[in-house]
Structure 1
Amino acid sequence: MQESHVSEIADDNEKGVPAASLRLSGEFSEWLFATGFWRGVNAKCGTMFDQYEEDEATATMAQLIAASLGDKARELGSFGEGTVEFIRGWTAAGAPLKASVSKHGLLAELIQLQELLTGAAERGHRVRFSL
């Protein structure tokens, strides 16, 4: 599973050096895709955030994504304690490839990402996603 990177980019920064950045675990990144999170964001924002791609979001889009992460956190909070299992892909024979991750770990990364996006939106900065 491939890690993702999210970076806040200040528009007045000519070299595009991130104002803040976050590395997301491969498990968290896969979970967001497997649960349809990015599909929902794409529908709301008219974007094409896709796995293994790089894209940017405006401050307004960053705020919408942060709000969607809040919804995801509330949904995840309703699950029992322990681990969350999801299908991350399929074998050539059609058998599911499953992954299990700690609910606590997912929530921690979700909150970190939400905070980065909210801060960037408040400052009017763009956000670069390398998913």
Structure 2
Amino acid sequence: MTHTPKIGALAVVLHQGQVLLVQRSKQPDAGLWGFPGGHVEWGETALQAAQRELLEETSVTAHPSHYLDNLDLLRWNDEGQVVSHYLLVGVACAYQSGEPIAGDDALDARWFSIEQIRNGDLLMSDRVVDLLEHALSVS
């Protein structure tokens, strides 16, 4: 059996000193806060997927401007075997309109101050702070 990593896109939206995050409703990371995002569909670019997932999960519209970084997310079982493998593509998205309303795979969607994320005040998915810092450094 051939295993292939799954590709996901993450929408990184910064606006007025805040960042938009969603609380995940499904595994992996159910209950944790992270960037809106999901699977890249067949025939769709990661930029398009980030924009689509953002709208589906938050009702916020933003323009995907450029790729930020690629994050490998591997999870292992107790025997040391890989049980999931995602390649997550961070996409910088320029806010256009809308107020966050949780939808699709999100329990909640909100704007958070950058300092709140840096301080680790939320239970977050791995690498949220890293990707945020990278987005800030290139914006």
Structures share a fold, TM > 0.5? Answer: no
- The normalised TM-score by structure 1 is 0.28
- Structure with a larger share of its residues in strand: 2
- The normalised TM-score by structure 2 is 0.27
- Structure with a larger share of its residues in helix: 1
Tell which has more relative contact order, 1 or 2 (C-alpha 8 A, sep 6+): 1
